[in-house]
Amino acid sequence: MHALSSLLLLGAYATQAVFGRPEDLHARREAAIIKRSVDSFIQTQTPISWERLLCNIGSDGCRAQGAASGVVVASPSKSNPDYWYTWTRDAALVLKGIAEAFTHDYNTTLQRQVQNFVGSQAKLQGVSNPVGDLSNGAGLGEVKFYVDLTKFTGEWGRPQRDGPPLRAIAMMTYARWLINNGYTSTARDIVWPVIKNDLTYTAQYWNQTGFDLWEEVQGSSFFTITASHRALIEGAVLAQSLGTSCTACSTVAPRILCFVQSFWNQNQGYVVSNINGGNYRNGRDANSLLASIHNFDAAVGCDANTFQPCSDKALSNHKSVVDSFRSIYTINRGIAQGHAVAVGRYSEDVYYNGNPWYLTTLAAAEQLYDSLIVWKQQGSITVTSLSLAFFRDLVPSVTTGTFSSSSSTYTAIINAVQTYADEFLAIIDSRKLPNGALPEQFDRNTGTPIAASDLTWSYSAFLTATARRAGKVPPSWSAATGNTLPNNCAAVAVAGTYATATNTNFPTSQTPGVPSSTTTGSTPTPTGCSEVLVTFNERASTQWGQNIKLVGNHPALGNWNPSNGILLSAAGYTSSDPLWSISVLLPAGQSIEYKYVNVQSDGSVRWESDPNRQFTVPSTCNEVVRGDNWR
């Protein structure tokens, strides 16, 4: 087995079996050895990771020559594998990390990168691609593009629906910084139009299946669904602070939260990361670790509904996912339970023979650092019957209960979890290249770094994990406003309108400042409803390749132009109940005429028979449901 440094390895393996006893001097010494080693690694690796990450961003990045400004290149590797593309997901997560770092420590270089990213994504949203275009938002589900912002037309697993919500999240972090520093007009006029397209897509398409973040399984992905929920909650709050609204965000987000709960395997105590597809996997997947850390909101504590890192569900899942890799990798064998091991994507993985990844191993550490932040913030730790097995791996004598910061059990848990998290970082230290480079994977048998070189996401994962270790808390996304399950959990998808964001020229000298009372603050919620959610349920039997659209006498319904009509979702379609459905926000009191059309596989349109369907949108705020059958 490829070792860490021999001293660190012995220290890591000897620490936690007895670490629950505060008086054990040997255990404390071993923990101190690990801490000093990881402290040294972070001090050396941090500037390297920042340098190599920024080198992968166009147009002036040292390894991104030929990439457009603001484009995040996945990796400079152009063969075996070819990652010389920009993935919407990867780029969004990298920029999310940059934006979070920027909010803690103002830096003109990072600010320029964020602004360039906003400009590049505004252009990218308008690029027609194999999934579609911006007219109905479908094109936002495209996975990757060439680094010069042109479309990629090769075979791929598409659509992938995590890109738009993640991109919105990244840009909302910067928009909130602008507002907090007195630049609300910049957030409203430049950043919000790009965000709005992604939020509209999320509200419309979240309940349709797509490929998971590993681009291999088609179905419903836990990572995608949790990102969608966060984006819409955060979007509703941001819209209000900008003096506008996102009614679709507020309408859809609670229904998504209901769906989040359906991924939980109550009997086994872990998240089934892909449902409605991917049945050949057992469900234990680093997908769920990434979901937890990227939805971290310290202000909501250990909330289980939003799968916060320190919730009993997330901790039980952490143990289950990490343990699933203990016996399958040669480099993990012999490592005792409760000690860190190299973490891959999922146990059935065969890509490059299925290996540990840097970013997934770092995610396991980051979840623990997130938990430590909240436990210290609230001054207590609660151990439930669900999370007990996780805690007993680290402190064998622990029992269920709530332990205050004045208790020896609290101290033992804090110290043990800190050491456990540091062990994951120690693994990364042992697997990095001599120059500090972090590729995509390391070999499951030898520990040798392999696959895509200088993976941008690997550097970002290191930087976010170590930021949490340092106690740097990401800005709240207002999870506390959207963590309660609603009474009505019926799925709803709200169609919206899309527009190219053309204003991407940021003003100069927008440095940290004092918010102006005339440009910031919440806008009072208006009384009554200017828009009403109308759900159209159409039952129409179709053949493969056919789609049902809604057209009518209002711009939101395409003004009778089938090309601009709204595509209904077939998520609930079965042979016995051929249901097509969509929800639309329409003006209160509006007289509506509409029809359904069947768009054939060749693009031709078949209208249903006359007369036009008619109704008047009520002036109340109650949701309206139209139940129709094809004529």
357 labeled part of a ligand binding site:
no
Q: Extract the tokens encoding 47.
A: 């500037």
- Number of separate helices (H) and strands (E) present in the chain: 15, 20
- Nearest Cα neighbor of 192 from 137, 246, 250, 254 is 246
Q: What are phi and psi of 504, to 5 degrees?
A: -125, 20
Evaluate whether 582 touches 252 at the Cβ level (below 8 Å): no
Specify whether 312 is catalytic: no
Q: Pull the structure tokens for residue 543.
A: 């053949």
Closest CA to 76 of 360, 401, 439, 332: 439
| CA torsion through residues 205, 86, 129, 499, sign | positive
* Strand pairing category for 579-587 and 494-495: parallel
Query: ∠322-328-330 over CA atoms, to 5°?
Result: 110
Phi, psi (5° rounding) for residue 25? -65, -35
The catalytic residue among 215, 323, 348, 593 is 215
Q: Which of 212, 285, 297, 440 is catalytic?
A: 212
Q: What are residue 82's DSSP bridge partners?
A: 78
- The alpha helices in 294-407, defined as continuous H runs, are 312-323, 358-378, 388-394
Determine the Cα–Cα distance for residues 623 and 131; give it in Å rounded to an integer.
31
Residue 339 to residue 346: CA distance in whole angstroms: 19
Q: How far is CA 121 from CA 13, 163, 177, 223, in A?
A: 46, 11, 19, 21
Residue type at 39 in one-letter notation: D
* Residues designated as active site: 212, 215
Which positions make up the binding site for substrate? 156
